[in-house]
Amino acid sequence: MSYVEKKIEYHDGDDILEGVLAFPPGSDNSGAKLTPVIVFHAFAGITEFEEGRTVELAKLGFLAFAADVYGKGKRGTTREENVALMTPYRQNRSTLLKNRLLAALNYVKSLDFVDTTKICAVGYCFGGLCVLDLARYNVGLAAVVSFHGGLDPIPDAQPPETLDPIETSILVCHGDGDTHIPVEKCLDFMKEMRARKADWQFVTYANAKHGFTEPKLANSTMEGIGYDEKAAKRSWTAMLNLFAEYVGNLDIYTRM
């Protein structure tokens, strides 16, 4: 299926961000309302991988938007530079990061050919942490999916049992061989979700490591990091199964 793809500038205050928007041709003036999916990047910023996921979603009939957390033109060239870019946002999740997440959400909401009652979000690694934070904030998302994402609670949040129930459906796709996220953190996350009375799923894929969706990690020599084709395909299908609950025309899945 063909698609339209374009780079989009949007703002967080005075900061310029640059995302990638993709959607089926003609849908921006057809009068129909598309189910939107926001794609949040891993620690390297928007790469060919996130852009590719955005295009694949557009081919399936969604409006997809790859959000930019770091800012236009801000990308690292080494692992150390990427960590340096990500760290301020991880350290200031309820302020700096939250504002960037809401900037992406507000941009998508501003589009007149999306159904704002069905907004979904997916994220990879750092982006997985981003979408789980959006769910925690109860900002009106229908569903979120975290692929090998961080699970830590928001540091300065109130105890989960004192907060309102999470209204967003949550799917966590986790690799059993991911040594970067200890089992204890997985259990703590589940406890948090129970306390928030969330609608959540936690799927663990045997032998899969951190970054299991990314083909570029197929030959990774880093401990606990690597691509897993089976887990990548199964988790993508799990995501689509969840999104099917919010899509008016389920025929799009016959084109897979």
Residue with tokens 């590719």: 52
Question: What is the tens place of the pLDDT at every residue in 144-177?
Answer: 999 999 999 999 999 999 999 999 999 999 999 9
Q: What is the CA radius of gyration of the chain?
A: 17
Q: Is the pLDDT of residue 96 over 80?
A: yes
> So what's the pLDDT on residue 246?
80
Is the separation of the CB atoms in 66 and 19 below 8 Å? yes
- Under the banding of pLDDT at 50, 70 and 90, the label for residue 248 is low
Q: Once rounded to an integer, what is the mean pLDDT over residues 223-234?
A: 97
| Beta strands in the chain, from DSSP E residues, in sequence order | 4-12, 15-23, 36-40, 63-67, 120-124, 143-147, 169-175, 200-205
Alpha-carbon distance 78 to 71, whole Å? 17
- Angle, to 10 degrees, between the axis of helix 98-110 and the axis of helix 126-137? 80
- Domains located in the chain, CATH noted: 4-255 (3.40.50.1820)
Within 92-160, residue ranges assigned H as helices are 98-110, 126-137
Q: Is the pLDDT of residue 247 over 80?
A: no
